[in-house]
Amino acid sequence: MSALQLLIAYDGSPDAQSALRTAATMFPGASAVVLYARQALEGFAAHLEGHPALEELAGLDAATLDVSERIADEGAQLARGLGFDAEPRVSSTMSTASEAIVDTAEEVDADLIMVGSRGRRGFKATLLGSTSASVLHHATRPTLVIPSDSVASARRAGRTEMTHHSV
């Protein structure tokens, strides 16, 4: 039987690192593609065709690609240190991060998509969007959302506070 193939969305944040550690305890020895989904600057620059600023943006985009590759590499190194057979991948796309995650899961034939949760609620969640919620709604593969320890603790504290106020 072949190892479970995971697609782990990873952005280098403490929440993503926490989710990766949790995943390692749940799926020891699995194979993983650690994906950093970056937004290319081409969409932003489309209206600048022929403008001298376009050259500056091209340099900036190359620099952000370097940083993106470093984040994916760091995530894969962390995953390998936790027992995964992991490889880094960067998706550089005009689409949203959630679309890149769903598309990459198809490309790598992932058995499971794993994403962390930042715990944004209310206006921030509406304004910034929720990558994990979008992946859940659009994925064609099983998807697991893992809240970081800090997000889970804050949610527990919020429920406890709500229970005490309603009594």
SS3 18: helix
What Cα–Cα distance (Å) separates residue 130 from each residue in 73, 79, 99, 127, 145? Answer: 24, 24, 12, 9, 11
Please write the tens of the pLDDT for every residue from 35-91.
Answer: 999 876 555 555 556 566 656 665 666 667 778 899 999 999 999 999 999 999 999
Dihedrals φ, ψ of 59, to 5°? -65, -40
Please write the tens of the pLDDT for every residue from 3-44.
Answer: 899 999 999 998 899 989 999 999 999 999 999 998 765 555
Please write the tens of the pLDDT for every residue from 80-131.
Answer: 999 999 999 999 877 788 999 999 999 999 999 999 887 655 445 444 458 8
Does residue 35 contact residue 71 with C-beta atoms inside 8 Å?
Answer: no
What Cα–Cα distance (Å) separates residue 129 from each residue in 104, 114, 115, 119, 135? Answer: 20, 18, 14, 11, 11
Q: Which two tokens stand for residue 115?
A: 């994403």
Please write the tens of the pLDDT for every residue from 121-157.
Answer: 544 544 445 888 899 999 999 999 998 777 767 778 8
* pLDDT for the residue 125: 44
Instruction: Tell me the C-alpha distance between 54 and 29, whole Å.
Output: 45
Specify the pTM. Answer: 0.77
* pLDDT for the residue 126: 41
* pLDDT for the residue 59: 63
Separation of first and last alpha carbons in the chain? 53
